[in-house]
């Protein structure tokens, strides 16, 4: 399956610019943006990613925070009792965010051009599935490093000292991930990469957890699915749960299925 960043829009499909990538403003058009309200799978994934990012922000529980959302996509911040401001390069995505009856303000802004906010105004920042777009160019004057530098410099400026930015992303290559994180560090951030479920091809998720200013007490959180046993994911009970789920689905389809028992999902003993 092609990555959305590699799909060129109709207006740039010409031999002269055949290497152009599809910018997010074109990819997230009215049709694509509508999926963020109509597709239950996309809504669920966005909520899970947003809730995990908010957890990694490690905000005080007894205080309302003012959060920047780069690439609007979920109402999770409001559900956690925080005030927020969202920016996105796609007008259609902003329309979807506005239709959700939320109290946050949204702005049409290319993050690669910098963030137009006052210094030290935000208590934190989250971004879901957006930052990797800065590594692709749709104009000759755009270079990944310049756009990353403008973004991280302006993000560092508008965050309060000691606050965090948690950026969930889908890097295409290790080199791309290194370029993104390296630029963030050069712009003043400390922190590092949090990888949830590193041994799972489908469940693996990348979160760049950045600290605005150095603090010896700030530690990069541990990723989910990284236990004491050499970083292996625990699969205990997974086989039984999957079997029970399959049987329930078959029953709904009208198929004849045996009743569950204490032996359901157990591995058969080896033969003598």
Tell me the pLDDT of the chain (272 aa) as tens digits.
455 555 544 333 333 333 445 555 444 555 665 565 666 787 788 889 999 999 999 998 888 999 999 987 667 888 888 999 989 888 777 777 666 667 788 888 889 999 999 999 999 999 999 999 898 876 767 788 999 999 999 999 999 999 999 999 999 999 999 999 999 999 999 999 999 999 888 889 999 999 998 776 788 988 998 653 333 334 445 567 677 777 877 777 778 888 888 777 776 665 55
Strands 159-169 and 205-212: antiparallel
> What is the per-residue pLDDT across 226-264, written as a single tens digit (0 to 9) for each?
653 333 334 445 567 677 777 877 777 778 888 888 777
DSSP result, the chain: ---GGGPPPGGG-SGGGTT----HHHHS-HHHHHHHHH-HHHHHHHHHHHHHHHHHHT--TTS--EEEEES---SHHHHTT-EEEEEES-HHHHHHHHHTT---EEEE--GGG-----TT-EEEEEEES-GGGGG--SSTT--HHHHHHHHHHHHHHHEEEEEEEEEEE--SSHHHHHHHHHHHHHTTEEEEEEEESTT-TTT-EEEEEEEES--TT--PPPPTT--TTTTPPP-TTHHHHHHHHHHHHHHHTT---PPP-TTTTPPPPPP-
Rounded Cα distance, 76 and 82, in Å:
9
CB 128 within 8 A of CB 49: yes
214 contacts 190 by C-beta, under 8 angstroms: yes
Tell me if 47 sits within 8 A of 100, measured CB to CB. no
Q: Pairing relation of β-strands 66-70 and 105-108? A: unpaired
**In this structure, what is the dihedral angle of CA atoms 167, 172, 173, 179, given to the nearest 10 degrees?**
-40
How far apart CA 142 and CA 147 sit, in angstroms, is 7
To the question of pTM greater than 0.85 for the whole model, the response is: no
Please report the domains of the chain, with CATH numbers, ordered by start residue.
Answer: 4-212 (3.40.50.150), 235-272 (no CATH)
């Amino acid at each position: 399956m092609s990555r959305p960043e590699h799909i060129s829009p109709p207006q740039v499909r010409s031999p002269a610019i055949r290497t152009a990538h599809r910018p997010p403003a074109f990819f997230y058009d009215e049709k694509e943006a509508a999926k963020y309200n109509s597709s239950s799978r996309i809504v669920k994934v966005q909520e899970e990613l947003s809730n995990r990012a908010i957890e990694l922000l490690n905000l005080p529980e007894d205080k309302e925070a003012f959060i920047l959302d780069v690439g609007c996509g979920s109402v999770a911040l409001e559900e956690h009792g925080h005030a927020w401001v969202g920016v996105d390069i796609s007008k259609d995505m902003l329309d979807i965010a506005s239709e959700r009856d939320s109290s946050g303000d949204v702005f049409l802004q290319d993050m690669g051009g910098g963030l137009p906010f006052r210094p030290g105004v935000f208590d934190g920042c989250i971004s879901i599935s957006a930052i990797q777009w800065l590594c692709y160019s749709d104009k000759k004057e755009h270079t990944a490093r310049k756009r990353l530098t403008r973004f991280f410099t302006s993000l560092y400026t508008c965050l309060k000292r000691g606050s965090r930015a948690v950026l969930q992303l889908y890097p295409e290559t290790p080199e791309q991930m290194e370029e993104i994180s390296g630029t963030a560090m050069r712009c003043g951030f400390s922190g590092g990469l949090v990888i949830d479920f590193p041994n799972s091809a489908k469940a693996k998720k990348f979160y760049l957890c950045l600290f605005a200013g150095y603090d010896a007490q700030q530690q990069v959180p541990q990723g989910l699915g990284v236990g004491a046993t050499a970083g292996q994911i625990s699969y205990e009970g997974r086989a039984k749960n999957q079997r029970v789920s399959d049987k329930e689905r078959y029953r709904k389809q009208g198929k004849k299925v045996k009743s569950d028992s204490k032996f359901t999902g157990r591995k058969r003993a080896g033969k003598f």
